[in-house]
Structure 1
């Protein structure tokens, strides 16, 4: 049934599109935070659904909203399931937007949020390939609309103890972490019997180049993997996914409250007082 998808506090209480135009008009705009989840539809190896990134975003927000109060005045928009997944283009099931298209779509949505009177927007991202572009877009939206614009890639340092050092360093796609998270959220969409293990092997003298971070090289998935996976999916468990999702959801809830209470105008006022 269609209504099975729209369960939980996030959809029943904090899903902005369930309101009427009059109800949106009456919302307090001064302290409201609007969340735009942005994911991807792309290959995640032979064992995970191509909806993995977007599914994880929806699941985390559902859990995070369980930790919020109604007076927090935080609202979520429908997720944008398509991202910039050009690094996976050509692999069956990958659906990607170009950088310019994603920028245009996110900017148009942001301008609509601003036109409705809201002053705070969060770009909630669960796909690594969107990261750099959304950082740039968020600043452009700030310049164009004057809104306070936030960016969040959900995570928690508490999850480090649940995975190996190798996974922390190289398990960036479809490995232990993502597979465990999806097992918790939608285990019947996972094929554990097809879970691969594949880590990129960098030259021994490599000291400054990584797959992500401050010093890295540009890559597409075929450069670093033959299975479409970077990590060890065979180590994934539902129990580990439950722990990871709980830790990350707690971190998200804390960040959402901080963003909702943040006032960027206070930064210059404090500087003047000094």
Structure 2
């Protein structure tokens, strides 16, 4: 059975099989997304995909979804008003404490589901420490800086490679589909990083050489990408794709 933890009583949670249940811990962010998207974009997209997962997943799969953490490590955006950020230590501590609570009650599989690129490195490092400390299996499902979206973007992406990064074709399309009334369409503009970071062989916003950057280093308006290519239909396809892929990932975790 796939359920939201917050909707269950303690007794109902107790009925879940501790050895087989996958506890999914969603982590989002609250940060500026240009002038056209709400600051809750990452968290709202995460919740929309999870709603679709709950609708489509086999009800026999033992999945327990914790409340979404709506704040992440977003210090790169802090010079834009509306952004709320945990420090590295705080984000790590929050995730660690939640996972300790989950493990204390005997659950053996925890999947951290991340929707913000600024959280990625922290969560990837932490999952190995949690495996060692708690003696449970810990996974990180991350759709930034991985090939998560690769297949669907091959079909629908109209912008160049760096057209999908932040407040971009992808994110804007999903919010157009899920919360169309929150998109300020008259404010949509494309904004790309400085040319060297687009054309360099090694030092780019995608790597392979990484760099510490603040948003204003690479964008004057907070947008990194091309939201002018966004459509509601692309948003529908992206949400459906993400939900299918999350379900496939959950099934693989279940088999381990």
TM over 0.5: yes
Superposed CA RMSD: 1.6
Q: Which of 235, 239, 251 pairs up with 2:245?
A: 251
Q: TM-score, normalised by structure 1?
A: 0.87
On the 8 A contact 1:43/1:93 being kept in 2, the answer is yes
Matched, 1:157 2:150: yes
Question: Of the candidates 95, 98, 101, which is equivalent to residue 90 of structure 2?
Answer: 101
**Distance in 2 (alpha carbons) for counterparts of 1:113 and 1:94:** 29
Q: Partners of 2:208 and 2:69 in 1: how far apart?
A: 27
Aligned equivalents of 1:245, 1:128: Cα separation in 2:
18
Aligned to 1:115: 104
Larger radius of gyration: 1
SS at 2:112's partner residue? strand
TM-score (normalizing by structure 2):
0.93
Match of 1:197 among 190, 213, 218: 190
Moved more, 157-166 or 239-248: 157-166
Q: CA deviation at 1:229?
A: 0.3
Q: Deviations over 1:81-139 (max 9, x none)?
A: 00000000121100000000010010000000001110000110000000011101111
Show structure 2 runs of 5+ residues with no match. Answer: none
> What per-residue deviation string (whole Å, max 9, x for no partner) do you get for residues 196-235 of structure 1?
1111133287211121343222211000000100111111
Aligned residue-pair number: 250
Contact 2:176 2:232 in 1 (8 A): yes
Within 2, Cα distance between the matches of 1:25 and 1:41? 32
> Per the alignment, in what secondary structure is the counterpart of residue 56 of structure 2?
coil
Partners of 1:165 and 1:44 in 2: CA distance: 18
Structure 1 residues 209 and 148: CA distance shift in structure 2, 3 A? same
* Distance in 2 between residues matched to 1:110 and 1:43, nearest whole Å: 28
User: For each residue in 1:154-191, what CA deviation from the matched residue of structure 2 results, as whole angstroms up to 9, or x when unmatched?
Assistant: 3332222211361x335310011100011111111111
Cα separation, 1, equivalents of 2:11 and 2:242: 34
Which residue of structure 2 lines up, in the alignment, with residue 261 of structure 1?
255
Structure 1 alignment gaps of length 5 or more: 1-8, 263-274
Pair 1:32 & 2:21 matched: yes
